[in-house]
Structure 1
Amino acid sequence: MTTALKKLKYKAVVVMFVSIFTACSPVIYLLSMQTWLIVSSFASFMSCLLMKLAFKNLIKAFNALNVGLLNFKDGDFSNQLAYQKDDEFGQLCQLYNQTAQQLRKEKQWLYQREMMLDKMLQSAPQALLLINDNGVVVFANQSAQHLMASKQVLEGQSILDLRKVAPKEISSAIDKAQDGLISICQSDAEEQVWHASVGDVLLNNQHHNLYIFKQLTRELNRQEVAVWKKVIRVISHELNNSLGPISSMSHSGKIIATKLDDSRLHRVFSTIDERISHLTEFVQGYGTFAKLPAPNVSTIAIRPLLESIQLQWPTQIHCELDTLKADKGQLEQLIINLLKNAHESGSQTNAISLTVEQGHGIAKLFIEDAGQGMSESVLTSALVPFYSTKSSGTGLGLALCREIVEAHNGYINLSNRPTGGLSVEVGLPN
């Protein structure tokens, strides 16, 4: 029973006794003292009994409301009041039940929205760091963990400790707490451009700093590749328009040369046919790059796919995954291109390996060889279309690999191995 209800009950008892004695005081002159005391005691007993009956429902209603409000205070809106009398307190309890039901629905709705928001933030490509005024990370998504080069969950860690293991450019950006562009270059990997955005957030009446790091390299690469594709489509169109008539004229020339029985003229037209065939194949290769369709992502069994590729390109395979989410045809083309480069690098076949392992929500593929590796300038331009160090290369193999990987929202990195040779790391969401 609440303190307020006790006070109300005590006040009612006092008022009752005062009323009884006031009402009975004139009778004292008509009755003896003993009789008056008996009558007063009986009247007090009956009044207490009637008062208890009158306060019974009131006490039950107050107790029910007291329990319900304590549940509200604890954030529990699941309980309903059992008091259902058809009186003023019954109506009050009914209003309480309706309020609790509404609050319960709103709490469930907010919880579902919070879960959806958390899932979206965890899978966001931007790196998000929320740090309280004590310098402790209270929220970080998977992209932030990858960017900070931490193997442990970031929540609960001090930002001062994290800055010691993070790339120096990221550490400097956190220290300055200013918006701007950041260039990150780790070992032999391609230089990455990031945009840092810093904001002040008031959460639970406590100031927090929100850091958002957005990678611009992929977007810049996409714009660059889009320009290359447009150029390729124009060139392919013009070449195809010219190759058709040339091929027809060459065929007619070969017929004439055969009739004239001129071997030299026949060799000339045969050479023209050979170059036309080579140029047609060349144009078709560029057309494949320029018209690469959007990936049809599905869950595929990775082991049988690797075993079928291994028959064509022998390699040492170490696979920790059973399934992988990707476009099967494009993934096969990606692996074949990378293994083909590894076999053409001058490496021994038994030194070429393909490893597939699971990261934090990412399937990682490592293709390594023991060839000549790449110089720093070649590593910088190897993924650019048309760039090739081979005399007969088209410069589209690695560019197509990058296009496939980025179409899957993944990444590809090239680096020289310390023991010699090249290491290609491919990351695909899984």
Structure 2
Amino acid sequence: MLSLRTKLLLSNMLSCLLGSVSGALVWLTLGDDTLWLAIIVMLAVCYFCSMWLTRRLSDSLRALEIGLLNFKDNDFSVSLHPYGEPQLDALVSLYNQASAKLRSERQFIYQRELMLDKVIQNSPNVMLLIDDNQRVIYANGAARHLFNQGVKVEGMLLPELVVTLPDALKTALNSEQEGLFSMGSSDSTSDDVDNNAGSNAGSNADNNADSNDVETWHISRGRFTQNNQQHHLILLKQLTKELNRQEVAVWKKVIRIISHELNNSVAPIASMVNSGKFLTQHLDNDKLQLIFDTIENRTTHLSQFISHYAQFSKLPLPQKELIDWTKMTQQLAQQYPFRLLSALPQTAIKLDAVQLEQVLINLLKNAHESGSSADNVALSFDETIHPLAGLLIKVDDQGSGMSSEVLSQALLPFYSTKQSGTGIGLPLCREIIEAHGGRISMQNRPQGGLSVKLWLPAQP
């Protein structure tokens, strides 16, 4: 079998030969005066012979060109037929295989997109995709219900959608920050007491939960480029449903049971160790003394470990009284140094001094352990009046901050990123603040580090 290249060369040679013979015959027949006519006849014969001999190649290349243009238009339905030329047919076969593969891949992607869209549309998390002009490109069902009562919002501008939203949600969307924020069912105060995305909020007590229902949300953002255009993805996730008050009560009950059982075992072990040390003190055996000391140290550590969880599960009701802020800040500075960025509160607010001090100790301790220098750990106070009178306390650092995933789970019991952490510190802070009818909020600072904000209502 001759190759396509050989056939093309032979076709050109044959065309030239036939053209030359035709021209020579015309010239010899009509005489010397018809040389120009002979040349024209020769060229015409060469042209038509070449066109006829290469017709299959031209048809196949034209079909391949049309097929590739269809590929460019995302149309993979065209298949080419063979032409009886082995090399052309091999090219046609490869094209048809590529077309079938692309059809299969597109069908797979289409089915996967349908499944993904079904999951997204039925997800309780709010998903919103906007462009650089703040125009909504995509919104799932939860976003449509949150922003526009279930009506389609694609094509609308985000500033138009946030006009009627609660202040807390409006602030979170406009702040360009990730973090937690809270929204009340009756009115929203987060915009005035927390200028950025905050975290959890609670009622004055469990008995008031129904009358002052507060929802906690987490907002996260993403950015990517598609078709040379910047797109911004906004995700809103409601956290209140993930760990409601009944679930917290169950955790507390489990902790109390475990603590009780462990204490029943630790107490006699500690007593027996002391008895053993007393009975064997005359033996002067260093190895025996090391064994007793090790058991004593581990039982002491276990008792302290249990006490941390017991503190969370048996938190007493706040014993509110007027706070001596000067004394409290001095005591805090002795344990964890900080810079005071504002004047001390002047409004009389009744709080539980012991519990509030425990909250601030935990927050200042976390700030020092975040990688921030002591000079960059700051405490500030801001007395709010509108819409509700209260006190805003901020603890800022310049450490490593928290990732979006950590922020969304930081207030859940037993969640900790520290190797030796118990996961109780921040949940305990939340329990104390909520018991006072306040709210705790956390977010990363634009200049680096974390900002934790406590809002406490003014008591009559």
TM-score (norm 2): 0.48
Q: State which drifts further: 348-357 or 249-258.
A: 249-258
Letter in 2 for 1:420: G
Partner of 1:297: 320
Q: Partner letter of residue 298 of structure 1?
A: E
**Which residue number corresponds to residue 316 of structure 1?**
339
Instruction: Indicate if the aligned counterparts of 2:168 and 2:181 stay in contact, CA closer than 8 A.
Output: no
- Give the 3 Å change call, closer, same or farther, for CA 398–259 of structure 1 in structure 2: same
2:179 to 160, 177, 189: 189
* Residue equivalent to 2:411: 383
Distance, in Å, in 1 between the alignment partners of 2:325 and 2:167 is 37
Which amino acid in 2 is paired with 1:241?
A: N
Residue 309 of structure 2 contacts residue 424 of structure 2 at CA under 8 Å; is this kept in 1?
yes
Distance 1:214 1:403, change over 3 A: closer
Match of 2:378 in 1: 353
Letter in 2 for 1:338: L
Change (3 A) 1:163 1:372: closer
Q: 1:406-417, aligned counterparts within 5 Å?
A: 406-417=434-445
Shift of 1:192: 5.0
2:282 matched to 1:283?
no
**CA 339–169 in structure 1, closer or farther in 2 if over 3 Å, else same:** closer
Question: Is 1:336 aligned to 2:361, yes or no?
Answer: yes
SS at match of 2:247: helix
Distance apart, 1:300 and its partner CA? 2.3
Tell whether the 8 Å contact from 1:339 to 1:367 is kept in structure 2 after alignment: yes
CA drift at 1:170: 6.5
8 Å CA contact retained: 1:345, 1:371? yes
For 2:436 and 2:168, locate their aligned partners in 1 and report how far apart those are by CA, in whole Å: 27
Letter in 2 for 1:230: K
1:248 aligns with 2:247: no
1:215 maps to which residue? 214
Counterpart of 2:247 in structure 1 is 224
For 1:319 and 1:228, the matched residues in 2 are separated by 39
Q: What residue in structure 1 maps to residue 61 of structure 2?
A: none
- Whether contact under 8 Å (1:190, 1:414) holds in the other structure is yes
Offset of residue 191 of structure 1: 6.1
Distance 1:166 1:242, change over 3 A: same
Task: Note closer, same or farther for the CA distance 1:308–1:195 as it changes in structure 2 (3 Å cut).
Answer: closer
Matched-pair identity in %: 46
CA shift, 1:314, in A, is 1.4
1:64-91 C-alpha deviation (Å, 9 max, x unpaired): xxxxxxxxxxxxxxxxxxxxxxxxxxxx
Q: CA deviation at 1:364?
A: 0.5
- Indicate whether 1:164 and 2:163 are aligned: yes
Q: Are the counterparts in 2 of residues 368 and 423 from structure 1 also a CA contact under 8 Å?
A: yes
User: 245-254 vs 356-365, which deviates more?
Assistant: 245-254
> Is residue 179–residue 444 contact of structure 2 (8 Å, CA) maintained in 1?
no
Query: How far 1:164 moved relative to its partner?
Result: 2.6
Once the two structures are superposed, residues 104-156 of structure 1 have per-residue CA deviations (whole angstroms, 9 ceiling, x without a partner) of xxxxxxxxxxxxxxxxxxxxxxxxxxxxxxxxxxxxxxxxxxxx9xxxxxxxx
Aligned 8 A contact 2:179 2:404 in 1: no
Number of the residue aligned with 1:45 = none
Offset of residue 299 of structure 1: 2.9
> Post-superposition shift, 1:409?
0.8
Distance 1:188 1:355 in 2: 22
**1:394 correspondence with 2:422:** yes
Q: Which runs of 5 or more structure 1 residues have no equivalent in the other structure?
A: 1-147, 149-159, 172-182, 198-211
**CA spacing shift, 1:186–1:405, aligned 2, 3 Å:** farther
Once residues 306 and 165 of structure 1 are traced to their aligned partners in structure 2, the CA distance between those partners, rounded to angstroms, is: 41
Q: Secondary structure at the match of 2:380?
A: strand
Counterparts of 1:282 and 1:169, CA distance in 2: 38
Once residues 168 and 405 of structure 1 are traced to their aligned partners in structure 2, the CA distance between those partners, rounded to angstroms, is 21
- Secondary structure in structure 1 of the residue aligned to 2:307: helix
What whole-Å deviation, never above 9, does each CA across 1:35-71 have from its counterpart, x for those lacking one? xxxxxxxxxxxxxxxxxxxxxxxxxxxxxxxxxxxxx
Q: Return the TM-score normalized by structure 1.
A: 0.51
SS in 1 for 2:419: coil
Tell me: CA distance 1:366–1:193, structure 2 relative to 1, closer, same or farther (3 Å). closer
Bigger drift between 298-307 and 269-278 goes to 298-307
Could you give the per-residue CA deviations for residues 253-292 of structure 1, whole angstroms, max 9, x where no partner exists? 3345544443223212211100001111111222222111
Aligned residues: 247
Deviation at 1:193, TM superposition (A): 7.3
- Residues in 2 aligned to 1:411 and 1:294: alpha-carbon distance in whole angstroms: 16
